[in-house]
Amino acid sequence: MHLHILGICGTFMGGIAALARAAGHTVTGCDANVYPPMSDQLRALGIDLIEGWDARQVDIGADIFVIGNVVARGKQPLMEAILDRNLPYTSGPQWLAENVLRDKWVLAVAGTHGKTTTSAMLAWILEDAGLAPSFLIGGIPQNFGISARRTDSPFFVIEADEYDTAFFDKRSKFVHYRPRTVILNNLEYDHADIFPDLAAIETQFHHLVRTVPGNGLILANGADVNLDRVLARGCWTPVERFGCPTGWRGGEPDAEGGFDVHFAATLQGRVNWRLMGEHNRMNALAAIGAARHAGVPAGVAIDALSRFESVKRRMEVVGAVSGVTVYDDFAHHPTAIATTVAGLRRKVGGARILAVLEPRSNTMKLGVMKAQLSASLAEADRIYCYGSELGWDAVGALAPLGDKALVVNDIDRLVARLVEDVRPGDHVLMMSNGGFGGVHRKLLTALQRRGAEVTR
């Protein structure tokens, strides 16, 4: 079968392309911006890419067009031509469900925060236990180096996103996956471009709960009242809680980040790793519980996490110059920002943290979360906000932080200001769910240049 994928360079749709190619299908695709690294990954798989949405692509010879949720009515000539000619099309999640997931034991990881990291942990635990799972994850787990993989294993780990499926299917993506094991990490208001309020998201999570069979398992955050409301609407599946005394619980971490794991008040083992933050401990508890449902003993899962290498762009050190360490992180919601800053603070103690934020997600651009932004950054010593193309007053939103906050509307000026401000021993934390104009490398290059000038 020949699939032509619209929006192929997104992480999810690119993952579908890789899975389809591995299954022996002919795959081509198009996107508005075809650029590395996804374009390089796809071409290495023998997938031809087309830049743009030219309507002439209807004649490419595809048996079916797979539509990503970047596509909208009236914006892409190709989509209008597909509709006008009554050509077969489907959404990415539906194609995945019908052609890949149907005969699999699906382990789905849902929640506002931590989906990518928890999915990566779970896939690694199964891999380390010899179960060789297939997976589709919205990031690149460093243990694997790829975001999607197809194997003959009965197990499939998937990051289960609540974002809508396609312009013609406004259900959340995850309702298509029919999982047997589900992790519900947490639930907050997000995706303001899709959902009018928290109650609308809770309804979608309830739809997911309705799809889990009676012989399945739901791992739910035991400290999240929003998830309590979701489950109270109806649940026909056994539930295990994590992050609470009666379920999976983590002990206090040591200086390196290691912690004991308990289940129903019984010690299961100790995770020895260097990941910091309560969020990572909660992610680990959920992954251990989900793996246990798939047959991996808790002790084996705990041991596997000692070899877990996290995910790219999750507190990833991208470089260090002249005693200044630069990190890249995906945080873009106030809760994730606060958790990330707190985790770094625990790691570096009293050293200075310079937090650099690009409010780039649709929710952040709408200004829905601006009132929580200053509190989420409070633990940083200096705050820099890239305020270009925002529809709200970033200076006013960060005013509670006083003179330690600065809003800059130009990337080069932002880099220049950082170079002026940083000193040896500082930690520069870049946070964005996009490329952030390559600011990480620009800063490292500028610091190298400054160091060279000083030594002359």
pLDDT of residue 124 exceeding 90:
yes
DSSP per-residue letters across 387-426: -TT-SS-HHHHTGGGGGGEEEES-HHHHHHHHHHH--TT-
Query: What pLDDT was estimated at residue 456?
Result: 34
State the Cα angle at 19 between 92 and 49, rounded to 5°. 75
**DSSP SS3 for 187:** coil
Residue 214 contacts by C-beta under 8 Å, 6 or more apart in sequence? 236, 237
Q: Mean pLDDT throughout 440-451?
A: 83
Name the one residue in this structure whose structure tokens are 């050293």: 351
- Mean pLDDT, the chain, as a whole number? 90
pLDDT digits (tens, 9 = 90+) for 59-105: 999 999 999 999 999 999 999 999 999 999 999 999 999 999 999 99
Tell me the pLDDT band of 451, cut-offs 50, 70 and 90: low
Fold assignment, 103-305: UDP-N-acetylmuramoyl-L-alanine:D-glutamate ligase (3.40.1190)
- The band of 424, judged by pLDDT with boundaries at 50, 70 and 90, is very high
In angstroms, rounded to a whole number, what is the distance separating the alpha carbons of residues 71 and 51? 14
| Cα angle 350-355-360, degrees, rounded to a multiple of 5 | 160
Domain boundaries 2-92, corresponding CATH code? 3.40.50.720
Cis peptide before 400, with omega less than 30 degrees from 0? Answer: no
Task: State residue 254 phi and psi, 5-degree precision.
Answer: -85, -175
Asked whether 414 and 436 are in contact (CB, 8 A), the reply is no
Q: 222-225 long-range CB contacts below 8 Å, 24 or more apart?
A: 222/246, 222/247, 224/184, 224/186, 224/187
At residue 75's C-alpha, the angle toward residues 70 and 76, to 5°, is: 75
| CATH of 316-454 given 3.40.50.20, 3.90.190.20, 3.20.20.100, 3.30.70.1380 | 3.90.190.20
Residue 153 has pLDDT above 50, yes or no: yes
Strand ranges of the sheet holding 259-263, from the earlier edge strand across to the other edge: 148-149, 134-136, 155-159, 105-110, 181-184, 217-221, 239-242, 248-250, 259-263, 266-271
Ordered by start, the domain boundaries in the chain are 2-92, 103-305, 316-454
C-alpha 129/C-alpha 125 separation (Å) is 6
Q: Rounded to two decimals, what is the model's pTM? A: 0.84
Q: What is the pLDDT of residue 185?
A: 95
pLDDT tens, 253-285? 888 889 999 998 899 999 999 887 888 999 999
Q: Do domains 2-92 and 103-305 have the same CATH topology?
A: no
How do strand 134-136 and strand 148-149 relate by DSSP bridges? antiparallel
CA 371 to chain centre: 23
In Å, how far from its chain's centre is CA 189?
16
Q: What is the mean pLDDT of residues 227-245?
A: 96
Percent of the chain with pLDDT over 70: 98
What integer pLDDT is reported at residue 36 of this predicted model? 66
pLDDT at 314 over 80: no
pLDDT reading at 454 higher than 50? no
C-alpha 179 chain-centroid distance: 19
Mean pLDDT value of segment 32-53 = 85
Gap between the terminal Cα atoms of the chain: 62
Would you say residue 178 has pLDDT above 90?
A: yes
